[in-house]
Amino acid sequence: MSDDSELRGSNTEKDPAEWVTGDEPMTGAQRSYLQTLCQEAGEDFDENLSKADASRRIDELQARTGRGQGSGGGGNAAA
């Protein structure tokens, strides 16, 4: 089994604050998924989020709605 030290520097899961492209507008996939999550959570959708902010918001709303739990990964990949 791997430990965290093996993953450092890899793109498997990187803090959005460290993304090179984090300040760019969110991707189409992020926009679509975030709209769905916002609707399910009864939250307003902010269409002006950056990639990094959208990623953080997706993580937050997934935790609140239960979406993405136990899916075995494949969630928010680093940009």
Query: How many independent structural domains does the chain possess?
Result: 1
Residue 31 placed within a domain: yes
Structure tokens at 66: 């239960």
Bigger pLDDT: 22 vs 35: 35
Q: How far apart are CA 31 and CA 36, in angstroms?
A: 9
Cβ atoms within 10 Å, residue 10: 10
Domain holding 57, by residue range, is: 23-39+48-66
Burial grade of 52 (CB within 10 A; 0-12, 13-18, 19 or more): buried
**Span 24-74, pLDDT tens digits:** 899 999 999 999 999 999 999 999 999 999 999 999 999 998 987 765 444
Residue 5 placed within a domain: no
Residue 77 placed within a domain: no
Residue 71 placed within a domain: no
Residue 55 placed within a domain: yes
Residue 62 placed within a domain: yes
State residue 16's pLDDT score. 79
